[in-house]
Chain A
Amino acid sequence: MCCLLIVIIIINEGINKGFIVAAEMINSLFLISHTGDIFLEKHWKSVISRSVCDYFFEAKEKAGDLENVPPILQTPHHYLISVYRGKLFFLSVVQTEVPPLFVVEFLHRVADTFQDYFGECSETVIKDNVVIVYELLEEMLDNGFPLATESNVLMEMIRPPTILRSVVNTLTGGSNVGEKLPTGQLSIIPWRRAGVKYTNNEAYFDVIEEIDAIVDKSGTTVFAEIQGVVEACVKLSGMPDLTLSFMNPRLLDDVSFHPCVRFKRWEADRVLSFIPPDGNFRLMSYHVSSQNLVAIPVYVKQNISFLETGSCGRLEITIGPKQTMGKTVEALMVTIHMPKSVLSVNLTATQGSYTYDLTTKALIWTIGKLNPQKLPNLRGSLSMQSGVPKPEENPSINLDLKIQQLAISGLKVSRLDMYGEKYKPFKGVKYLTKAGKFQVRT
C-alpha cells in the first residue's frame, strides 16, 4: 500500500513540475512465451530494460491461470498493456496516458499480421522469421504511433516468406524485403494495392454465423443470439467496385464493417458497396436482431451427479437434433471442464470417442455427424478423490457444432455485382453455421 502511495506522489510531482514525459503511444514491445521466456524485444524509442517484465511475471504468477493475467498493469514508471494470443504474451510498455483499447487493438493487429504472414502466430514461427518480424514491427509503428497496419500494404513492403522463395533466397542470396518500392501507401485506396492482376478472377464470400447460447438445466434457453461475419476472399484484377446485396438485410441489427465498405450506401440501400482489399479479409460482422427467435439446432439431455458416498459420480449425456432446418449437424463436440476432484472417468460412447485430460480436467467427446436415428450417448462413471466433499456445482457442457450450407438466421446473399472492370469474375457464396459460446448448464 505504502509503495503505491509513493508511486502516485512521484507521478504527480512529475506532472506538477511540468517535466516532459516521453511522449509516445507504445514505447516497447516484448514477446513472451507462456513459460515466461522473453524471446523478442523491440523498442521504438529509448531502450527500456527487459526487467520491467518482472512486474508482469509477478502478476502472471499471482493470476495462476494465463487467461486471468490482468491486461493492464501499473508499475512505478511504466504501464504494461498485454494481450494473450496463441500461447504468447504481447507485452507493450507505455509511459503516458493512452487509450488502453488503442494498444490492445494494435497488439491484436500485430498478431493478426503475423498470422497473415506466417500462417500461424506462435513462438516457433516468430523465432524462425525473426528478421521479418522485426521489420514488420518497424513498419507498423513509427515512434510508437501506428503507421501501416493493413497487411495489403505491408506485404508490398516486406514480402511474406514462402517455401519456394526461401529456397530461392538461399541460392541467390535474395531476401524477403521488397526490391521494388511500394506504392500501396500512395494508392487512391489505402487498403488495396495497385496493379493487382490475376488470370482467374474470383470472389468468394463465406457467411459464417455463430450461435451464442446459454441453456439451463431444464433445457430452456436463458439467452441466445446469433453473431455472424462475412469473410471474403477476393482475387480480382484491377480496381473492382463490388456491390453485395442481401435478400433480407433487415435481419441485421448491428453491423461493423471493414473500412472499405461505404457506410452511406448501407444506410440508404442496405447493400454493401466496396472496393475490396486484395486477398482475405473480413468484410463485415453483424448481430442478428434479437426480435428473431434463435433456432437452437440441438438439445442436450444430461445427468451428471456426484454421489455423497463411495467417492464416485455418474454421467450420462445424450444429444439430439432440435431445429436443424433439415440439414445435418456435423463436427459435433462436447467439452466439459470437470471439478478438480474428478480423478478419472470410465465412460462408453455410442458414437465418436472421448478423452479426459488429467491435468486440465477437461473431458472432450468428439462425436462427428449427428445421426437423428441413433442419438449419440455417453455414459459411465466418474471416480473421485476420496475424502474430499462432493463438488457443489455440476460442470457446464460446452458444445461445438457445424452446419454446412446454412445460415441459421436465414440471411441470404441475393447478388454480387461488379463495376469498374470488364472481365467476368467467378463468384461464390458459402454459408456455415457454428456453435459460438454455446453452453448448457447442469
Chain B
Amino acid sequence: MTAMQKLLQLPVNAVNIVKTVQSQVQGQEEDKSPVLSPDSGQQTWYNALQPDELRHLRSGGSGGGGGGGGGGGDQDERAALEEGGGGGGSFQTQPLRHDDLKEMLDSNKDSLKLEAMKRIVAMIARGKNASDLFPAVVKNVACKNIEVKKLVYVYLVRYAEEQQDLALLSISTFQRGLKDPNQLIRASALRVLSSIRVTIIVPIMMLAIKEAASDMSPYVRKTAAHAIPKLYSLDPEQKDQLIEVIEKLLADKTTLVAGSVVMAFEEVCPERIDLIHKNYRKLCNLLIDVEEWGQVVIINMLTRYARTQFLNPNINESLLEEGSGGDKTFYGSDEDEDEDDDEKEKEKKAEAAAMAKRKPYVMDPDHRLLLRNTKPLLQSRNAAVVMAVAQLYFHLAPKAEVGVIAKALVRLLRSHSEVQFVVLQNVATMTIKRRGMFEPYLKSFYIRSTDPTQIKVLKLEVLTNLANETNISTILREFQTYIKSMDKDFVAATIQAIGRCATNIGEVRDTCLNGLVQLLSNRDELVVAESVVVIKKLLQMQPEKHSDIIKHMAKLTDNIQVPMARASILWLIGEYCEHVPKIAPDVLRKMAKSFTNEEDIVKLQIINLAAKLYLTNSKQTKLLTQYVLNLAKYDQNYDIRDRARFIRQLIVPTEKSGALSKYAKKLFLALKPAPVLESPFKDRDHFQLGSLSHLLNAKAGGYQELPDWPEAAPDPSVRNVEVPEWTKCSSREKRKEKKVEKPFYSDSEGESGPTESADSESDSATASDSRSGSEESGSGSESESEEDSESEEEEEEKKSKKKELKKPVQESESEQSSEEEDRKPEKKSKQQKSDSESESDEDEESESESSPSESEDSESEAEVKKKKKVAESKPPSKPVKKEKKEMSLLDLDDFEPAPSPQVTPVNTLLSNSLVTDLEGLSLSDSVLSPATIAPSSALKNYELLHRITGEGLTVEYCFSRQPFSPDANMVAVQLQFTNNSSSDTKSLHMEDVKLQSGMRVKEFPEIELLPAGETASAVMGIDFCDSTQAANFQLCTHTKKFFVSIQPPVGELMRTVFLTENEFKKEQGQLMGMNEITEKLTLDARCRNEHAIVQRVTAAANLSRVPCGSDKECRFAGRTVTSSSLVLVTVATREEGAAQLTVNCEKMVIGTMLVKDILLALTQ
C-alpha cells in the first residue's frame, strides 16, 4: 500500500524535479497543463474574480476559429484563440497567459494591477512558479495603491532570493519607506527589506536594523528585533554587531518588544547569558503583559537562565525526607504562601541540628520572583504558555510547589487532540518523577472509547505511572474495561500496562497474573500473544509458584500462531523445564515436527529449548535434539545455521570439543535476572520538558541543553540594576563629584533610554497609569502586573517595609529577612551605598516598588495641592526634605538628567524624578504666584480662549518648560485664566479630551471659583508623543463649554539636557546620515552676536547650551519629552552673517521641523 501511495505521489515530485531542471518554459507548461495540475477547477475561480474591463481587454485578441479550446475556463480558450487557432498545445499557450498578466501590471489602472497581483499571489499560494513575472512585478513596488503594494511585497519576499539582481531595484523604495513618518510604513519597509534574502544588501539591512532599534515607535523596534535573526541567518558574520543591537533592545521596557528581542537573543546568541542579568528582573515583571508567543520564548529562556544562576531548591531533599515527611516549604523563605510563621520557626528549630551539617538553602529572591511572576500564566488560554510555565516549575521550583501545575495541565487535556498528545507526553515524564502531583487527577486520565489510539496509549502510560498500592484496584478495574476494547493496539498496550503494574506493585502481582492467564483463552490472537509475552516476564520473577501456568501455556502452542508469543512460550518451557519435566519433551517433539514452518525467532527458541532439555534430560531428548540441530544445519537463515553449529559444539561432547562444553550447563541454565518493566518515559526528563527534543526523545537541531544547577550560586548582584548614584551623593551632599559622574549616566542610561519605554501609546498604559493615580487606568497592564507579582501577604509586608524605610536606613536593613544573609558581608563593605543596595536586593522591588512609591508621591502631591487651596503655601524646603527621605523608593525609570534652562549645576546632578518631584511641588505651591516659575528667557504666551469668544473669560497658555511632575513624559502647559466679566466663574475644568492615538493629557485641577476680575493659573500636562498634533478639549465653566485646542511648536516638545562638549561630539557622531539635517542661512542683522543667537535659539526651542571651545559655534542639546531622543543643534557662524545650522536628531520629523523653526527664528 505504501508503495502504491508513493507511486501516486510520483507525479507531483517528478514535476518538481522537472521544474527545477528544465527550462522555465516547461515549468510554466506545468502550471498550465490541465493534466498535470490536478484541479483545473481553480480556473473557474479566477474567472469569478475577473473584472469586466479585463474581459474586454482580452476579447481584443479573439477572432480566429476555436482551435484547441475547451480545456476549462476561458483562460485556455482565449490563449488558444490568440494563437490564431493553430493546434498548438499548452506549450505555447503558457507564455501568453503570463504576457497578459504582465500587460495588466504595466497598465495605468490600479484595479488591473491589483487583479494581476491577486492572480499571481494565488499562483504562489498553490506552489506554482511565477518567477518569470519578477521584472513586471518589481516595477510596481512603488505603486501608490496600498493594496497592490502589499501584494507586491508578498511576491518580493517569495522570489527575491531567486532574482537577486532584479530585487535590488526595489531596495531604494524600502529605504525611503524606512524614513516615512508613519511608523507602520517604517515597520513594514523594514519587514520586507529584511525578508529579502539577498546577501548583497546585508550592510543596508544592518544599518536599517540599527536605526529601527532606536526608533521612537515600539512597533518599529519590535520589527527590528524580528529582523535580527533574519539577518543573522543570512550572514552569521554580523553576529557581533547584532548582539549589540540585541543588548540595546533587551533594555527596552515595552512589552511589545520584549518577546521579540528575547526570540532574537535565543536565535543569535543564546550563550550570552550575561546579557540577561541586568534585564532579568524587568523581564520577570513585564512577563504577564507580553503577548502570548513572547511569553513562551521568555519563559523558556528564563528557565535556562535560572538553571545557571540559582541553586537547586531541592538540594537538601534527602536530608529533609528523613525528617518531617519531606515537606520543604519552610525553605521557601518568608514569601511562601499560606505559611504559618510560628510553625515555620518551630520546624526550623527542630531541623536545626540536621541542617547544621549543611549550609541551609536560601532561595535567591530573584529565583522566587521568577516563580511568582510566572504562576499566574498557568491561567493563560494559550496551551503553549501553560506548558512553558509547567516546565519552568518542574525544572526550577522546590518540590513542594511543583504541584500547582498539575491542575493547569489537566485542563489542557480538554483541548484539541494534538495538544493532548503533547501534554500527555510531558505528563507521562512528570509522573515518573513526581507521581503524587497528578494522583488527585487520576480520573481525568480515564480513557474513552472515542479517544484516538495514540491518546489512549499515552493516557494508559500515565495511569500506569500513577498506580500505587492504594489506587491499583480502581486502575485495574478500569483496565478490565479497556481490555474489551475493539481497538486491538490499545488492548495490547493495556496488557503491557497490567504487566507493569504487576511488577511494580507486589500485592497485585497474583491478581494480575490470573487476569492475564484468563486472557490466554481470548478469542483474539493478538490479545493472547501479548498476554503470553507479559506473562513470561512476570513468571520470571517467581517461576516455582506457577508451574501450572507454564503447563497451561505449553498447551497454547497448538493454537497460537503469533511468532513472538510462540517464542516466549518456548523460552519459558526451556527455562523452567525442571518445573514441567513431563511436558517439556513433548513440546519439543511437537516443535521438531513443525520446525521447518516456523518463523525465525521461533526456530531459534526451538534450538534453545532443545539445548536446555538436552542438558537436563538428555535421556529423553537426545535424539530430538539431534534432529532439530540437523534441521537447523540446513536452514536458509545463516543465524539459525550458526546457532545450531555453535550449540552442537557446546552441548554434544566430542573429543574435539573445547573447554567450553564443561560450562555448557552454566551457560544455558544460569539464573537470569527478572526483566524490569520500565516506562518508555523514564529518564526523559533530561530533556527540557515541553521541548521538541523531549517529545522525540532525541536531540533536535538547535536544542539548548538544560544546564545542571551550579554548585555554588554565581554572584547575584549582577542582576542589580544600576542604582543611580545620585541617591548616595545627594544624600551625602557630595555635589562636587557629580560632574565627573555625569557622562556615566548619559552613556549607559541615556541611550537605551529607560524613558523610551514610555514613548508611545502602548506604554502609556504600562508606565504611566500607576503614576497618574486619578486617571481611570486604561488597561490591566503594568499597574496590574506589579500587583500580580506580589502575593497578598507580601503587600502587607511591603507596606511595613516601606514604613521602615522611612526610618533611618540602617534600621530597616537590620530587619531584612534571612534571605539576605549571604549578602550581608558584601553589603557592609559597601555601606555607603546601603540604601540603594538594600532596595535592589529586595527581589523585584527595584522595579515594581517604584509604582507604589510613585503613587504615594502623587498622593503627597495631591495633598500639597489641597493645602494650597487653603492658600497655605508651604515653604519649599519642607517637601524637599520629605522627598529625600523617600528617595530610595523613587522610580528609577525616570532616572535621566533633565535640567531646566535655569538649572544650576546642583540641579543637573539630581535625578530627573527628583527634579520633577521637587519642581512639581514648587509648581503647585507657586501657582498663585506664577512669576516664580518663569524661566530665564521670556516665555511666549499663546491664546487659548479669546475674551470675546470666551464671553469674558480669557485663557492664555504658555509652555512653562518645566518638567511636569506627575508624568515626566508630558509637556507642562501653564494656563492663565482671567475673568474679565462682571460675574464669577465657577468650576472651571476640562472635559471631552480628543487626542490622536497615544497622546495623553493630565487635566488641571478644577478651579472652583474665579471671581470677577481675578486671574488664576493652573498647570496641565500633555504627552504629545513627540508630534505636533493638537490636543483638543473642552474648557467648561459652570455654564458654558468652549472648544479649544493646544498645538505645540516643535521646540516645546523637548526638554533641556546637559552635555559636555565631548559628549556632544560623540553623540553627534552617532547621529549622522539621515539623522542629520543641515541648512545654510544668513543671520538676521540684529542677530549676529553669540548672545543673540543663543537667545533666539533657546526661545524657539527648549534646548540648553552646550559649552563650546570655539566662538564660531553655538551648540545646544535637548531631548524629546516622550521618547527622549537626543536633539542636537549646532549654529556655526561665518563671515557676513552667513551661518550653517545643523540639527541631529533620531526623529527625523522632529529634526526637519526644528530646522524650520530655528531658521525662522534666526533669520527674522
Contact = CB atoms under 8 A, between A and B. Distances in A.
B1124 to A, nearest CB: 19
B348 interface: no
A25 B233 CA distance: 13
A71 B422 CA distance: 9
Contact of A54 (B13, B146, B384): B13
A187 B761 contact: yes
A41 B454 contact: no
A43 interface: yes
Given A23-B267, A186-B183, A134 B154 contact: yes
A188 B761 contact: yes
Residue among A46, A142, A189, A419 with most chain B CB within 10 A: A142
Contacts of A331: none
A79 interface: yes
A317 interface: no
Contacts of A340: 486
Interface string A54-68: 100110011001011
Given A99-B690, A179-B146, A274-B780, A46 B197 contact: yes
Interface stretch (B25-33, B64-72, B697-705, B829-837): B697-705
Contacts of A274: 780
B309 interface: no
Contact of B229 (A24, A177, A261, A419): A24
Interface in B253-276: 256, 260, 263, 267-268
Interface in B583-632: none
Given A68-B454, A72-B692, A101-B419, A392 B195 contact: no
B42 interface: yes
B955 interface: no
B229 to A, nearest CB: 5
A8 B5 CA distance: 26
B414 interface: yes
A3 interface: no
Given A68-B452, A72-B696, A128-B45, A102 B384 contact: yes
Contact of A173 (B110, B293, B444): B110
Interface string B110-139: 111011001001101111000000000000
Contacts of A222: 443, 446, 478
A176 B692 CA distance: 38
Interface in A11-25: 11-12, 14-15, 20-25
Contacts of B997: 183, 186-187, 194
Given A23-B267, A105-B382, A177-B146, A275 B126 contact: no
Interface string B224-239: 0011011011001000
Contacts of A261: 780
Given A51-B16, A99-B388, A101-B423, A15 B699 contact: yes
A178 B149 CA distance: 12
A441 B704 CA distance: 46
Contacts of A54: 6, 9, 13
A46 B161 contact: yes
B267 A99 contact: no
B154 A135 contact: yes
Contacts of B673: none
Interface string B282-320: 000000100111001000100000000000000000000
Nearest to B789: A264
A419 B776 contact: yes
Given A108-B416, A392-B524, A175 B691 contact: no
A23 B229 contact: yes
A158 to B, nearest CB: 9
A437 B450 contact: yes
Contacts of A51: 12-13, 16
Interface stretch (B322-330, B373-381, B492-500): B373-381
Residue among B5, B693, B792 with most chain A CB within 10 A: B5
Given A38-B127, A96-B701, A99-B690, A20 B236 contact: yes
A22 B197 CA distance: 12
Interface residues of B, number: 132
B39 interface: yes
Interface residues of A, number: 132
B692 A131 contact: no
A174 B148 CA distance: 10
A262 interface: yes
Nearest to A50: B127
A181 interface: yes
Given A134-B154, A181-B184, A420-B776, A282 B291 contact: no
Contacts of B267: 23-24
Given A23-B702, A97-B692, A256 B9 contact: no
Interface string B372-398: 000010011111101110000000000
B762 A133 contact: no
Interface string B46-66: 000101000000000000000
B51 A173 contact: yes
Residue among A38, A173, A223 with most chain B CB within 10 A: A173
Contacts of A94: 692
Given A72-B695, A104-B418, A145 B125 contact: no
A107 B422 CA distance: 14
A102 B418 contact: no
B696 A255 contact: no
Contact of B381 (A178, A189, A259): A259
A50 B16 contact: yes
B118 to A, nearest CB: 5
Given A84-B418, A105-B382, A419-B776, A145 B408 contact: no
Interface string A40-52: 1111011101110
Nearest to B296: A102
Nearest to B391: A99
A106 interface: yes
A148 to B, nearest CB: 9
A263 B379 contact: yes
Contacts of A96: 700-703
A337 interface: yes
Interface string B31-44: 00000001100100
A367 B146 CA distance: 54
B929 interface: no
B784 interface: yes
A268 B788 CA distance: 10
A301 interface: no
A22 B233 contact: yes
Given A188-B762, A263-B784, A97 B422 contact: no
A97 B704 CA distance: 8
A130 to B, nearest CB: 5
B866 interface: no
Contacts of A68: 452-454
Given A99-B384, A254-B411, A396 B449 contact: yes
B257 to A, nearest CB: 12
A1 B291 CA distance: 42
Contact of B446 (A182, A214, A398): A214
A149 B382 CA distance: 12
B732 interface: no
Closest 7 CB pairs of A and B: A173-B111, A96-B702, A262-B780, A393-B484, A177-B147, A23-B267, A97-B703
30 contacts: A8-B698, A23-B268, A25-B263, A45-B233, A50-B16, A51-B12, A51-B13, A61-B2, A70-B454, A97-B704, A99-B387, A101-B419, A104-B416, A105-B384, A131-B151, A142-B226, A143-B227, A143-B229, A146-B291, A173-B114, A175-B118, A177-B146, A177-B150, A186-B762, A187-B761, A189-B765, A222-B443, A263-B379, A393-B484, A419-B776
Given A101-B387, A261-B780, 20 more contacts: A40-B125, A70-B421, A96-B700, A100-B695, A102-B384, A104-B416, A104-B422, A105-B384, A127-B45, A131-B125, A135-B154, A142-B226, A143-B194, A149-B291, A173-B111, A185-B184, A188-B765, A263-B379, A264-B784, A439-B449
